């Protein structure tokens, strides 16, 4: 079976891969995440996902690895009115982001890419998330919790930020950081099935 490497430091992505029974090894792959001029959000996340997979593959190849392998890269963006909302730079930035999301619908795009050195495939999943009103006091208390500091769009749907979500259309796991159904299908095309290590039914 083809061994999988995850080119991501995200604990959420590690948890989601583990949840669907796919063993993997984490590989560090840093790339420039600056958006290109006039680049759409979907093109941006897909380019970064492919870039992370390629960077991870290059790192493994440089280390002398010769065995067949596949590298998975992923990237998530929160988009409001066509504008990508990144991770907040400070408290004030987080409060501005949360105020802009308050009572509105936004999109969460997650791209997944897999590369094995012979071919690369990628996909992008878009989900629509609607927030209820967020008061200034709620936004301040949420920032004080520490959760928004390293999160795109300044919130985590799988954490304390869940209280803001009134409606979700699309992939919950995609909003968390890895759309598991689509990822499982993509990995299967590279000879990596989900539910590995399950006991065989009698």
Quote the CA–CA distance of 78 and 30 in Å, as a whole number: 20
- Looking at the chain, list the stretches that DSSP marks H as alpha helix, in order from N- to C-terminal side: 11-19, 41-62, 91-101, 136-144, 172-176, 180-188
Residues marked active site are found at 75
Kindly report the length of the chain. Answer: 202
103 contact partners, CB below 8 Å, separation of at least 6: 131, 132, 133, 134
Q: Is 85 helix (H, G, I), strand (E, B) or coil?
A: strand
Quote the CA–CA distance of 125 and 2 in Å, as a whole number: 25
Position of tokens 């083809």?
2
Beta bridge partners of 85: 78
| Nearest residue to 150 (alpha-carbon basis) of 11, 44, 6, 7 | 11
Q: Residue 50, exposed/middle/buried by CB under 10 A (0-12, 13-18, 19+)?
A: buried
């Amino acid at each position: 079976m083809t061994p999988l490497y995850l080119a991501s430091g995200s604990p959420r992505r590690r948890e989601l891969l583990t949840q669907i029974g796919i063993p993997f090894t984490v590989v560090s792959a840093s790339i420039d995440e600056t958006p290109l001029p006039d680049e759409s959000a979907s093109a941006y996340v897909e380019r970064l996902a492919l870039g992370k997979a390629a960077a991870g593959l290059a790192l493994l190849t440089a280390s002398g690895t010769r065995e067949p392998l596949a590298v998975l890269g992923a990237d998530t963006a929160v988009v409001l009115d066509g504008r990508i909302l990144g991770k907040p730079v400070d408290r004030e930035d987080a409060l501005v982001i949360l105020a802009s999301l308050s009572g509105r619908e936004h999109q969460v795009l997650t791209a997944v890419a897999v590369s094995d050195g012979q071919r690369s495939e990628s996909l992008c999943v878009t989900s629509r998330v609607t927030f209820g009103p967020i008061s200034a006091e709620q936004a301040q208390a949420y920032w004080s919790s520490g959760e928004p500091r390293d999160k795109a769009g300044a919130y985590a749907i799988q954490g304390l930020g869940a209280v803001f979500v009134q409606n979700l259309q699309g992939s919950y796991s995609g909003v968390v950081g890895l759309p598991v159904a689509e990822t499982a299908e993509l990995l299967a095309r590279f000879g990596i099935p989900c539910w590995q290590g399950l006991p065989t039914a009698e």
